Every structure is written in structure tokens, then in C-alpha cells.
Chains A and B, each alone.
Chain A
Amino acid sequence: MRELSYREALNEALVQAMDANPDVILIGEDIGSYGGAFGVTRGLLDRYGPMRVIDTPISEAGIAGACVGAAMSGLRPVGDMQFSDFITLGMEQVVLQGARMRTMFAGQVSVPLVMRLPGGAGTGAGAQHSGSYENWFVHVPGLKVVMPASAYDAKGLLLAAIDDDNPVIFCEHKLLYNARGHVPEDAYREPLGVTRILRKGRDLTLVATSLMVGLALEAADQLAEEGIEVEVIDPRTLRPLDDPPIIESVIRTGRLLVVHEAVETGGFGGEVVARVVASEAFDYLDAPPLRLAGKEVPVPQSEVLEAAALPQLQDIVRDARKLVRNQV
């Protein structure tokens, strides 16, 4: 089986999309000769030229606006925000324009853009380069939000996102770029809006996103040694959320833990918990559903504090254990 890194998988998805469709273009800072801040677009300028791999000045609002306009004009742009944090500058273009156009013009236009957000902490890059903003977009009707946790999903979901006729916010994680995994060579698509159960278990439903998926699987391994069987679920697409597999899982396990790196308040975990509690799974809950999330602080620069602010493997193990032992 061929293995690629998450970075290489994304690169291959872009190549396959651009080979198959001349309408696919890339817009972003340092994506040309530099190959992207994290190397995802390496080699693409040489391959497709400056008309399709468009290096921009430091102008995130411009990138976002150009993507929306290009998409409305019939292209399929893939924007690169370099750091997810900078999407704050492009919010008006993505949210007020990109997400609204289809309905405001009664379906006469569509906005098939993908906005890649390299996000997440763990690199000591400080409060302005480490954020997780996925839930800002989960709150916006008209957007789709995708968050791959593996090299396989990175490629399959990016190809599906480029195919999609709606704006898709594509949340990558900086610490995952070197994560390796099986990636087939063909241009497979992983459909958006399909939750995946990664590990079956009877004692606890553990929903995790992005970098936390790997930690959740590790925690499940550790807990299995204590006889605690954890079901690990990766929604992969946060909007639209395919929640029936989560609800069915909680009906089986009676316990729910949601783990993500973004802060807890107003975070995605609240949405998952709310859907479960308001569903038929309510009658099967044998403990309060828990969220484990980033601390309510801007991500600190100090590595020690940064680690303390983010959910760690032992935190997942601890909370899972407490839930299963009825200590919550």
C-alpha cells in the first residue's frame, strides 16, 4: 500500500483536480515558487504556470474576494489563507458574499470555491498563528466545513470539496502535514457530510476532530488495556453534520465525550452534545455528555503553556475514564 504524508496527499489532490479541470485555479500568498507556507503547493507553479497558480500580496481580504468573484464567474478557485487566523480579514467576502450569493440570487449563481485554512496550535507560533476557527463557519448557512484528520481523508475530501458547487471551508492542521497514511493513487472522492466510525466500542462514544482524532485513537488503545472499549468517531464534515451515526453510537454506549482543539465555549462540541441530548439518544444517556476542548485563552506562545492550553492524550484518557466509571 502506498503511503503519503497529509501534505503530499493534499498536493496530489490539487494536481489531479487541476489536471482534470482547467477551471481549477489556486490563489494565495507564497503558493508559487515558495510552494506554500507548509509546502502543500510545491511544484504547482512550474506545472500549471502563473495564470492558474496565482501568488498574491499580503491581502487576505483580496484573496477571499478574488476567490468569490472567480467562483461566481465560472472558475473553481482554491484559496490558501496561509494561516487560518488570517481568514478573519476575509470574513466579509466569505460569509457575506460567498455564502449568501446562491440564495440571494435565487440559484442563478453558485460559488464553487474552496478556502484552505492551515490551522491549529502546537508549533509555538503564538496567539495570532495558532487558532482553530472552524466553528465560526459552522454557524454560517451556505458554507460547508470540512476537517480531515488523515492523509487519506485530506485527499478524498479536498477532491470532493473542489467538485462541490458551494463554498467549502477546508480546515487543515499544521501538525498533521507530516502525518503519513495510506493514500490510493486514483482520484477518489470522500463524500462531504459523511461521518466515519474509526473504532467500535461499547462503553463510550468519543467524537473527535482533526488532530484530536489521532489522540482519541491512542487513548482508546490505552483504555482498552483497562477493559474500557471506546467508540471513536470522526465527523470529518462539521457542516452539514451527519449526526445519525453519533446518535446511534450514544444509544449503544450511553456516554459521550467530544474532543476538539478550539475553545469549548461556542465550540463544535456544544453542537454535538446538543444534537445528542435532543435526540432519541437522550433516554440512553447514563452520564452527562462531556466536552474536552482548548482552554479559554488565546493560544499561548510558551510551549509549556501552549501544551497546557490544548487537550492532551492524558486528558482524553482521564475524562473517558471518569465518564465510564460514573464519576461525572
Chain B
Amino acid sequence: MPTPVWLPRFDTAHEQSRILRWLVPEGDAVVAGDPLCEVETDKVNMELEAPVSGLMGPQRFLEGALVPVVTAIAWVLSKEEQGQELPDWPQGGDLQSGESSEPVAESETDEMLEWATGEAAIAVPRVGQRTRATPAARHLARIQRLDLENLRGSGPRGRVQVADVQQAGLLAGGRQLPVILELQVEMSAIQDLQRMWPAGEFALNHSALLVFACAKALTRHPALNVRRQDGRAVRHDRVDLALIVPNGDRQLEATIEAADRVSIRTLLTTWPALLQGEGPWLRCDSVLWRESFRICDLGDLGLDRVTAPPGEAAVACLGAGRVVPRNLDSDGDLPETRPGMALTLTIAPGSGAPGEIQGARFLEDLANMLENPLKLLLQGGQDANRDRQ
């Protein structure tokens, strides 16, 4: 049976200790009485000793962790027990008397008593109470648009510290500056298709294809299709696309509502009207505009690449440049010049925004669709029955 190493209660007022340092790495041999771990109780640092000889087993807490008293913090194993499945961590009630370490000196006790009486347990009552946080933590949370109420504080009595906000900011993608990702899309397949496209009812407009592909990509990458609310990301249940496209001297700024439910045929046939601001699904709604994923397609203005900010309550914006011959990567061969288009994804700062990896996968998926337009069109055809028209 593996032997647990306990963090004992050093005196009646002792409630918790911080694990300062593990003195023996897991797997090392220990002799009974060897110091295994240094723990801190305010002014007093103490060493916890090996209860028996054996091998240092799994350590339950990382250095720096605050641990309530009468908690098993590690195992000491015999040789045979190494690699075997371990029992659950024993509860405080399992601690038998006599396992407690040496009593501490009286003066230390007094100091600890003084300290401990001023400190409650780490659990923070949050009900009807403002979260404890340092001014600096509040300040940083404001900048990063993080909600303090959702953070767990590592300071005394659960107080949220700057370090906690920084940690949460990292986890939430709460960066302070926008991230801009760029990918070159090869457009030769679309151009080939455009050359073969019969004159008639409608043209194969690559901007319309981009809108269609983007709506599709967003259904597969929902992390980009969110609105921000109270510092959190809330997923949209459909894909609305805020569109900025030039039309002669004017530019269209409107939102395609539920773009994921518009078929490619409808989109292509109505594209010229859409550029004029007409279309049953086109909305000039400021809330939609602020909250929707945005496409800023300024290739027609002759711009090489376009970097534009997302809507105020959205997290990402796609910029599209013009289609021109570009040096595109040809899988290790010499670079070839082919028609290409620069797609730029701007990810907003602050919490709730997707990470770089999510952004890159979205771009890659989008480029894939645009480089295989036939597949896209065929799939789009299948979607026709879902067309609201």
C-alpha cells in the first residue's frame, strides 16, 4: 500500500500552507525522515519529511499551490508499487493521530496564530459581494475586457492579482493588440472557370464566390463567428456577413443576413443588384453591422492587400486584395508566377477573440475552397434547396 505524505495542521489556527518547493523529484529514492517538500505558513517555512523509505511517488500539487491543512500531498511508493495504479487520494479524516510532524516552537506558533486569525480560508464568498481584486488587477481587466467575476484569485482570501488577470488574458486570447494573418490564394482555377463560363444569365464573380466560401468556412470555424458581450464571446447561431465592396465611386456597406443560407446560384445571379444595395437578405442594421464578421473586399480598387478592423462587437475581419500574378509557393519547386489574391485576417484584441491557430485554419480552409471552385459550386448547388429564395 503506498504511503501518503500529509500536510498536517501545525496548530489549531493553521488553515493552509503554500507548497514552496519539492525537494525530491518524482521517482527518486527517499529514506524515512528525508525532507521531501518545503511548505510555508507565513513567517515559518517547514520541511515535510518522508514518513517511510521508498521512492518519491506522484506529487499532487505544483510549487506555489495553496493547500488546506490535513491534505495528502504526495505518495511514497515501494519498489513494487512503482508504475502500479494508485488509490484515490485519502481524505483528511483518514489521517491517523501520530502522523503529524513535530510541534513547532511556541514563538513561531504565536506568530502563526497572529497571522492565521487575520486570514480566512481561500474560498471566496461571491454571493452578493464584490470580487476582491487589487486596483492593478481591475485596471488590467478593464483594458483586456475581461470579467473579474469569472476569475479565481490567487492572493490572500482569493484576491484577484495582476498575475491572475494576465493568466486569464492568455487563456482567453485577451491580447492587447490585433493580430494580422495573411495567406496568398491561387486564383488560376477560378480564372480558368471564368474563361469557360457561358455568357448569359450571370457571371462567375470571384467576390461573390468569396462571400459564399467565407460563409461556409465560418460555419466550420464558429470561433470566428462570435459577438462580444460583457467581455465574453457569444456564438452567433447563423452567419451574417458585414460587407464592404466598392461599386464605382460608391461603396456598399451592408450586412448579408444569414449568408450561410443563401445558395451560390442566388448569390451569383443577384450580385450586380447586391452591389447596388438591393437584395431581400441585405440589411442596413447597425447592430448587425457591429456584431458580424466583416469582409472588406477592395480588390476592385487595385489594392494589393487590405487590412481592416473588425466590427466593434465582432472579433475578426477578412480583407481581400486584387487578383494579380503573384509568386506562389509551388510545394518546394521554384516559385511560379500565377494569379493570386492576398487574403488578410485581422483578429481583434481583447478577450473572446479566436487564437492565431484558429484564424490560420479558417484562412487555410477558405483558400482551399477558392482554389477548388468546381467543388464549391457543386456543393453550393446542393445547398440550393436551403435557399430562402
Contacts and interface: CB of A to CB of B under 8 A. Distances in A.
Interface string A306-328: 00000000000010001000111
Given A283-B139, A318-B43, A328 B156 contact: yes
A109 interface: no
B11 to A, nearest CB: 18
Contacts of B135: 282-286
By size class, the interface of chain B is 10 to 19
A326 B136 contact: no
A37 to B, nearest CB: 38
B337 interface: no
B161 A326 contact: yes
Contact of A283 (B42, B136, B155, B163): B136
Interface in B132-170: 134-139, 154-156, 159, 161-163
Contact of A285 (B134, B156, B163): B134
Interface in B29-58: 42-43
Contacts of B155: 287, 326
A286 B156 contact: no
Nearest to B138: A283
A118 interface: no
B131 to A, nearest CB: 15
Contacts of B136: 254, 283-286
B135, B156, B159, B161: most-surrounded residue (chain A CB, <10 A): B135
Contacts of A318: 43
A233 B135 CA distance: 23
Contacts of B138: 283
Nearest to B143: A283
Contacts of A286: 134-137, 161-162
A93 B162 CA distance: 51
A195 B75 CA distance: 55
Contacts of A254: 134, 136, 162
A318 B138 CA distance: 27
Interface residues of A, number: 12
A287 B157 CA distance: 13
Given A318-B43, A326-B161, A327-B42, A284 B139 contact: yes
Interface string B3-39: 0000000000000000000000000000000000000
Interface string A177-210: 0000000000000000000000000000000000
Among A254, A284, A286, A326, chain B packs the most CB atoms within 10 A around the CB of A286
B18 to A, nearest CB: 8
Q: Which of B43, B136, B154 has the most CB of A within 10 A?
A: B136
Contacts of A322: 42
A327 B139 contact: no
A322 B45 CA distance: 13
Interface in B115-144: 134-139
A287 B156 CA distance: 10
A43 B307 CA distance: 79
B231 to A, nearest CB: 18
A284 B143 CA distance: 12
B75 to A, nearest CB: 28
Contact of A327 (B134, B156, B162, B163): B156
A177 to B, nearest CB: 34
Contacts of B134: 254, 285-287
A13 to B, nearest CB: 43
A320 to B, nearest CB: 13
Contact of A326 (B42, B43, B139, B156): B156
A254 B139 CA distance: 12
B223 to A, nearest CB: 31
Contacts of A327: 42, 156
A209 B78 CA distance: 58
A109 to B, nearest CB: 46
B288 to A, nearest CB: 35
Interface of B: 42-43, 134-139, 154-156, 159, 161-163
Given A286-B135, A286-B161, A326-B154, 10 more contacts: A254-B134, A282-B135, A285-B135, A286-B162, A287-B155, A326-B156, A326-B159, A326-B163, A327-B42, A327-B156
5 contacts: A282-B135, A285-B136, A286-B137, A327-B42, A327-B156
Pairs of residues from A and B, 4 with the lowest C-beta to C-beta distance, nearest first: A283-B139, A286-B136, A326-B155, A286-B134
